[in-house]
Amino acid sequence: MARTAGSIGKETEKRVLKEALTLFAHHGYAAVSMRQIAGKCGIQAGALYNYFPTKQSILHGLMKSHMQNLLTALDVEQLHNNPTQALEAFAQFHIRYHIDKPEGVFVAYMELRNLEPEPYAEIMKLRQKYERFLRRILREGQASGDFEIDDVPVTTMAIISMMTGVNTWFRDGGRLSVEEIEKIYVNLVLSVVGLEPELLTPRLKEVT
Amino acid sequence: MARTAGSIGKETEKRVLKEALTLFAHHGYAAVSMRQIAGKCGIQAGALYNYFPTKQSILHGLMKSHMQNLLTALDVEQLHNNPTQALEAFAQFHIRYHIDKPEGVFVAYMELRNLEPEPYAEIMKLRQKYERFLRRILREGQASGDFEIDDVPVTTMAIISMMTGVNTWFRDGGRLSVEEIEKIYVNLVLSVVGLEPELLTPRLKEVT
DNA sequence: GTCTATAAGACGATAGAC
DNA sequence: GTCTATCGTCTTATAGAC
């Protein structure tokens, strides 16, 4: 007990989470077995139960920490005096975070239906908190007259879907750098709310 | 043989496809068993193998026919003399089709990773054909000067993601009718390519 | 065309040795 | 903390009666 306390155990737990995340993202939660996860970690299936009481708890833990990290990172970023700046910052943050953590994003989005009712409700609350953040920006911009928006709730979901979709096609080492993609998406988002993006980031035209 | 030829068999096959689609959409392919599918159809699991040699072939069949129906319906719709009209028609078609067939859309999108390599390649080809359709419209509008687009491939994927996302939040009987949602999304898509939507569909402002 | 029965094995999770 | 061994159940798919 004294020999291993706080050393090997914590490392193994992290490793399990890391390997489970990759496996879930690639094959889906339901298609991945505890034996597979253990295999990737170099241990036997039974040892997993020292850290997680059920397979479900691994999924829940992954999704919860992903959403919490996302919200924490978002909070740190945000302090802007006008809606346009706030929207630009949000869009850039979203794209960067999603390109940076594609596996976490994928699992948090695709595996909702595999959560039991209670964990499901908890994760949905965190998702809604994130959505509310963008909705507030859009409402403020609509109220101030900066944005032209037909319907704020629909536009909120449309923008999030548009940006999250970056993970369906982006692969490292492609035609465009992360910075270029960020700029393109920020411009797309600004267009959606009726702004003229080229006036705000004139350098983009030269890049593409 | 003579008694049942062309009657009960075909009905059962259709029923299997219908129930499998619903189950796959709700719980995911990997989480649904052949027994569950059979149960929903009122038959025993063994009887499924009269119609489908493997579970995989049910999934493949569903995804293939969904993509083929989508492409056929798209072809019928399209004959326009300018890029703006073509884009409007495409956006309206996409939203309507996706609201109309949410289960097919969901499965075709979410279960790609559960296809074996050969079926996967086939379905991806059909997807790309659909994406190419929109990409051509955007290219033409960019060339003619009707659209303002930074990057056509990225904008293609962004628009498709934005529109497909309608299935993540839309439920029948909500605040907005299908027609209202169509209009909002058409306007969003037009905004993305730099057009002023309210001039094209002035009635929307009264509706919302 | 559907049934029952079953093969052959994988599944999540647990028990107890070390 | 990890192992081996195992429980009980579920899985896809097949065989043969009717």
CATH of the domain at A19: 1.10.10.60
From the CA of A41, how many Å to the nearest CA of chain B? 23
Percent of chain A with pLDDT over 90: 85
User: Is pLDDT of B7 > 80?
Assistant: no
- By residue count, chain A amounts to 208
pLDDT of residue A9: 80
Higher pLDDT: A12 or A205? It is: A12
Contact list in B for residue A166 (CB cut-off 8 A) is: 157-158, 161
- Given an 8 Å threshold on Cβ–Cβ distance, is A150 in contact with B113? no
Q: Å between A36 CA and C8 C1'? A: 20
Q: What percent of chain B has pLDDT over 90?
A: 85
**Are A191 and B187 within 8 A, CB to CB?**
no
pLDDT exceeds cutoff 60 at B107: yes
Q: Which of A33, A53, A73 is the last residue of a domain?
A: A53
Say whether both B146 and B177 belong to one domain: yes
Q: What residues of B are in contact with residue A28 (Cβ under 8 Å)?
A: 28, 30, 113-114
Q: Rounded mean pLDDT of B37-65?
A: 98
Structure tokens at B160: 């498709």
Flag whether residue A167 sits within 8 Å of chain B, measured between CB atoms: no
Answer yes or no: do A150 and B208 touch at CB < 8 A: yes
Which residues have Cβ atoms closer than 7 angstroms to strand D?
A 4-5, 8-9, 12, 38, 42-47, 50; B 32-36, 45-46, 49, 53-56
Nucleotide nearest to B31 (CA to C1'): D11
- B35-64 average pLDDT score: 98
Q: Which nucleotide is nearest to A49 (CA to C1')?
A: C13
Q: Dump pLDDT digits (tens) for B133-153.
A: 999 999 999 999 999 999 999
User: A187 and chain B: CB distance < 8 Å anywhere?
Assistant: yes
A72-109 core/surface letters (b: 16 or more CB in 10 A; e: else):
eebeeeeeeeebbebbbbbbbbbbbbbbebbbbbbbbb
pLDDT at B207 over 50: no
Residues of A in contact with B183 (CB under 8 A): 150
Same domain, B162 and B192: yes
Q: How far apart are CA B180 and CA B182, in angstroms?
A: 5
Q: How confident is the model at residue B22 (pLDDT cuts 50, 70, 90)?
A: very high
Q: Which two tokens stand for residue B135?
A: 């990409």
Euclidean distance between CA atoms A207 and B19, whole angstroms: 50
Query: Would you state the pLDDT for residue B198?
Result: 59
pTM of the predicted model as reported, rounded to 2 decimal places: 0.93
Inform me whether the pLDDT recorded for B205 exceeds 90: no
Q: Do A18 and A107 share a structural domain?
A: no
Give the rounded percent of residues in chain A with a pLDDT score beyond 70: 91
- Amino acid B79: pLDDT: 79
Same domain? For B63 and B42 the reply is no
Question: Residue A140 — very low, low, confident or very high, per pLDDT cuts 50/70/90?
Answer: very high
CB pairs under 8 A between A and B: 112
Question: B148 to chain A, minimum CA–CA distance in Å?
Answer: 10
Task: Flag if B158 and A165 touch (Cβ within 8 Å).
Answer: yes
Positions on chain D within 7 A of a protein C-beta: 1-5, 10-16
Mean pLDDT estimate for chain A: 92
Is B28 found in the same domain as B89?
A: no
Q: Does A26 touch chain B (CB under 8 A)?
A: yes
Distance A33 CA to C10 C1' (A): 9
Tens digits of per-residue pLDDT, A80-126?
Answer: 889 999 999 999 999 999 999 999 999 999 999 999 999 999 999 99
| pLDDT band at residue A1 under the 50/70/90 scheme | very low
Looking at the fold, whether B25 and B108 belong to one and the same domain comes out as no
Residues A48 and A73 both lie in one domain: no
Q: A28–B27: do the CB atoms touch at under 8 Å?
A: no
Contact A190, A88 (CB under 8 A): yes
Same-domain status, A112 and A198: yes
Indicate which CATH number applies to the domain containing B176. Answer: 1.10.357.10
**What does the pLDDT average to over A29-44?**
98
Q: Considering only CB atoms, which chain A residues are within 8 Å of B114?
A: 27-28, 31
Reading the block at residue B190, the tokens are 């037009």
Which alpha helices (DSSP H) does chain B contain, by range?
8-27, 34-41, 55-77, 83-100, 102-110, 117-144, 152-164, 166-169, 178-192, 197-200, 204-207
Mean of the pLDDT values across residues B107-118? Answer: 97
Cβ-proximal residues to A188 (8 Å cutoff; 6+ apart), any chain: A162, A197, B150, B154, B155, B158, B192
Q: Kindly state whether residues A49 and A63 are assigned to the same domain.
A: no
Query: Closest partner residue to B151 among A148, A162, A184, by Cβ?
Result: A184
pLDDT score of B164: 98
pLDDT at A194 (0 to 100): 97
CA B180 to chain centre: 19
Q: Are A16 and A48 in contact (CB under 8 A)?
A: yes
In a shared domain, residues B86 and B185: yes
Domains identified in chain A, total number: 2
CB of B30 less than 8 A from some CB of A:
yes
Same domain, A47 and A62: no
Task: Residue A116: give the domain boundaries.
Answer: 58-204
Q: A16 with A105, same domain?
A: no
